[in-house]
Structure 1
Amino acid sequence: MGSTRLQLAVYCVWASITAVAGEAPSSVPGVNATHAAVDAMMALYNETTGIWDNDPWWESGVALRAVADYMLKTGSDEYLPVAYNTFNIQRAPLEWWPEGGGDFRADSTDDTGWWALALTTLYELTRDVEFLDVAKEDEAYMFQYWNKTTCGGGLIWNIPNGTYHNAISNELYLELTATLHNLIPGEEYYLNKSLLGWEWFKASGMINSENLVNDGLTDNTACVNNNATTWTYNQGVLIAGLTQLYKATSNTSLLETAQQIADATVYSAILSPGGILTEPCGTAPDCDPNTTAFKGAFMRGLAQLDAVIEEHPYKSYIQNNALAAYTNARNGSDFYGLRWQGPFDNASIGRQESAVNLLLAAL
């Protein structure tokens, strides 16, 4: 009887783990499914404006990077005209930014960061130095808003008001600087910037006791974790940044931290109920257009981490999410809804680029 109880207990532990991390599904959406999702995303593209849909501007930067990632992974050049069209149109000064901007310099540091990272991927794809030059210009612009008076450093988010040390701006800066270092042979400037950014972030308190990243710091002299929502993209972009910095330094402590954050997300009852990544806002209309794009950023970062770990501990989790979305959240036109558990609810660029990033992660 004791042996039976022990066997049952072991089985229950095993079952609870595989329910979340999952075994690799028997049929994972492949290149054809991913191509169909990218094509559906292109139905939301406006050749005249060079952006996708009418959702937040930064999401078109994410879509551009997803298109570039697709071409990198598959060896295709199908969407290069789209990439160049978007780059040439959207680098112009912005009507809605009083100081003009231009070259993707916006009134918030995170918006600039998303576009700059898209340009690094386009440079990796094409080796067109113009993409790299603008990404470097964007890094310099972001670093102008490194705070020298409050919170011991860190980028502020709201440029006109000079306020809010948020997680995403600093995570994007970490990933951008580490990526620039990894793309430019023999360089040290961006590596030092990336190390500076990580040392500040690590000491900031934004990573909470559960190894999840909250949204930012209190907007006062205390500069402590504001305990705001643990959005999925804040976990994923930090994971991506730490992975890029690990590639630059071979410092395994960076991977250990990235895995702690990944595990906290993958095994979270809130962020991964039933093993399927879910935004804390739940369902539309509680999830605004910004939040619809967050899950894809997490999956992109998780896939980068998984690729550098020999055991590939997150592969089955990624594949199970891809299969769930493909089976339950896709309509007849290959658009994907907000919740990958299903059912399909609506088409938007945020929803679609998240799905494309998920399917790319599973390839």
Structure 2
Amino acid sequence: MKFSSSFGALSASALLLATSVNAAIELDINDRESIKKAAAIAAAGMRKWYTGDRPGDVPGNLPDPYYWWECGAMFNAFVDYWYYTGDDQYNAITMQALQHQIGDYNAFMPQNQSKTLGNDDQAFWGMAAMSAAENKMEDLPTDQGPSWLALAQATFNTQAPRWNTENCGGGLKWQIFSFNNGFNYRNTISNGCFFNLASRLYKYTGNQTYADWAVKAWNWERAIGLMSEDFHFFDGTDDRQNCSSLNRIQWSYNAGVHMAGAAAMWNATQSEEWKTKLTGIIKGTDVFFKDNVMFEVACEQKGTCNVDQRSFKAYLSRWMGYSMLVAPWTRDLLLTRMQTSAQAAAKQCNAGDNGTTCGLRWTNNGVNDGSFGVGEQMAALEVMQNLLLDEVPGPVTEQAGGISKSDPSAGSEAQSEPVEFDTITTGDKAGAGFLTTVVLIMILAGAWWMVS
């Protein structure tokens, strides 16, 4: 996952000029057919941005300025769309993309993505596979790839050995490879994704090892301070300073990824401890809502959200929906916010030549802000389609309805096959150190700019 400020392939100004004050996605939150129709419109709008299925293009890649991880997140949204609505028109491109990006160790580590491959990037693809398993999407044929569950297990099995105790007492680094900028940064989303995946694998399989890792990741984040006592989640910390200082900017997806993981842990254990933690996380998301409408507090009101950040509300919406499915008592805490946000999102999906293109801000009473792209469409789609939670039975498990085949050792061969690097010169080392320092300074400076 990287930082970018480009707008994307479509012309925002052209789309905005085409806005019609009379058009918008119509949504009746009490009518399931209305919700399905609204979700279908948002999904079609997101599909238009994807070119990976075209001749000569690469399945599982979005065009510039999008990074690889967001394409995995997008296909998770399509998995959710099929699950909630029953509309399978995007299943073929979803399966094609997931299969094409499996990469080394059957763990979503394609070699051509190594320069942008962080633990969080890999995990977003792994979580898409986990959703496919939980939602009973048919596995790939055995001669075409591993099962969805095995892909999620391989993602976990390649990440667990990266738990780094050289400093900070543990945790995952942001980047997998030392030649990538940000290698010395330990960010909350990488560790949160690991916690999320471990928790859901525990819920699905019942294997205690996953639970132990989930608890270990949670406790480490809390001890370091990436998670506050009142369940606010901060961006990350520098391991060259032994994680002694924090970048305290808050992003909605950090809260969401932990919310879903805690919900899975509560579901699997039924414990008061996890109920208390989950309740705390939900209350901590107050910072991302204004009059029950979701917004990205760090950048949205100032118009400084980059391409990555414009998708973050999609994941909070996704994981709020997941939490309500696996921990039904959370509906009293979450559903009103989901409904109000969905109405606000639909109301401003009124741009483009079809009058249904979605912008970023949902808090402008239906005024489209002219920010368009995959993230904006995905966020609107997720917040609307998750209103259909009463139409689905909820995520399955290995013992209760699951059909995806388990492979607990998937990806484990990565532990005995070290990455081979080109010879590194003193100049390379100095350059890498300088670039990493620059990246961390930019992260901290960007955080100051967005919250000041």
TM-score w.r.t. the length of structure 2 is 0.67
Alpha-carbon distance, 1:91 to partner: 2.7
Alpha-carbon distance, 1:100 to partner: 5.5
When structure 1 is superposed on structure 2, of 144-153 and 257-266 the one drifting more is: 257-266
- In the alignment, structure 1 residue 144 sits paired with structure 2 residue 161: yes
* 2:117 maps to which of 107, 112, 118: 107
Give the ranges of 4+ consecutive aligned residues of structure 1 lying more than 4 Å apart after TM superposition. 24-29, 102-106
- Equivalent positions of 1:10-29 (< 5 A) are none
Structure 2 SS opposite 1:220: helix
CA shift digits 1:77-126 (9 cap, x unpaired): 32221112112322347xxx9x9537999631000010000011122332
- Work out whether residues 259 and 278 of structure 2, in 8 Å CA contact, stay in contact via their aligned partners in 1: yes
Amino acid at match of 2:386: A
CA shift digits 1:317-355 (9 cap, x unpaired): 110000001012443453211111243213211111111
Distance 1:109 1:277, change over 3 A: same
Alpha-carbon distance, 1:247 to partner: 1.6
Alpha-carbon distance, 1:273 to partner: 2.6
Structure-2 residue corresponding to 1:350: 375
Alpha-carbon distance, 1:34 to partner: 0.6
Structure-1 residue corresponding to 2:99: 88
For residues 130 and 157 of structure 2, the distance between their equivalents in structure 1, rounded to whole angstroms, comes to 14
- Equivalent positions of 1:169-208 (< 5 A) are 169-184=190-205, 186-208=206-228
Q: CA RMSD in A?
A: 2.7
- Work out whether residues 349 and 356 of structure 2, in 8 Å CA contact, stay in contact via their aligned partners in 1: no
- Equivalent positions of 1:165-314 (< 5 A) are 165-184=186-205, 186-224=206-244, 226-266=246-286, 268=287, 271-279=288-296, 280-283=298-301, 286-307=304-325, 308-310=327-329, 312-314=332-334
For residues 105 and 252 of structure 1, the distance between their equivalents in structure 2, rounded to whole angstroms, comes to 43
For residues 191 and 354 of structure 1, the distance between their equivalents in structure 2, rounded to whole angstroms, comes to 30
Structure-2 residue corresponding to 1:123: 133
Amino acid at match of 2:311: A
- Structure with bigger RCO (C-alpha 8 Å, 6+ apart): 2
Structure-2 residue corresponding to 1:320: 340
Distance 1:284 1:58, change over 3 A: farther
Amino acid at match of 1:259: T
Structure-1 residue corresponding to 2:405: none
For residues 215 and 115 of structure 2, the distance between their equivalents in structure 1, rounded to whole angstroms, comes to 23
For residues 105 and 137 of structure 1, the distance between their equivalents in structure 2, rounded to whole angstroms, comes to 20
For residues 30 and 84 of structure 2, the distance between their equivalents in structure 1, rounded to whole angstroms, comes to 22
For residues 324 and 186 of structure 2, the distance between their equivalents in structure 1, rounded to whole angstroms, comes to 29
Structure-2 residue corresponding to 1:33: 38
- In the alignment, structure 1 residue 334 sits paired with structure 2 residue 356: yes
Structure-1 residue corresponding to 2:445: none
Structure-2 residue corresponding to 1:9: none
In the alignment of these two chains, the number of paired residues is 332
For residues 275 and 139 of structure 1, the distance between their equivalents in structure 2, rounded to whole angstroms, comes to 35
Distance 1:25 1:73, change over 3 A: closer
Structure-2 residue corresponding to 1:66: 77
Amino acid at match of 1:293: S
* 2:384 maps to which of 332, 347, 359: 359
What is the aligned-residue identity percentage?
Answer: 24
Alpha-carbon distance, 1:360 to partner: 2.0
Consecutive unaligned residues of structure 2, counting only runs of 5 or more, are 1-27, 140-145, 389-452
Alpha-carbon distance, 1:204 to partner: 2.4
TM-score w.r.t. the length of structure 1 is 0.83
CA shift digits 1:272-306 (9 cap, x unpaired): 23332111212575111010111111112222333
- Work out whether residues 175 and 245 of structure 1, in 8 Å CA contact, stay in contact via their aligned partners in 2: no
Alpha-carbon distance, 1:181 to partner: 2.2
For residues 352 and 155 of structure 1, the distance between their equivalents in structure 2, rounded to whole angstroms, comes to 30
Amino acid at match of 1:79: Y
- Work out whether residues 189 and 254 of structure 2, in 8 Å CA contact, stay in contact via their aligned partners in 1: yes
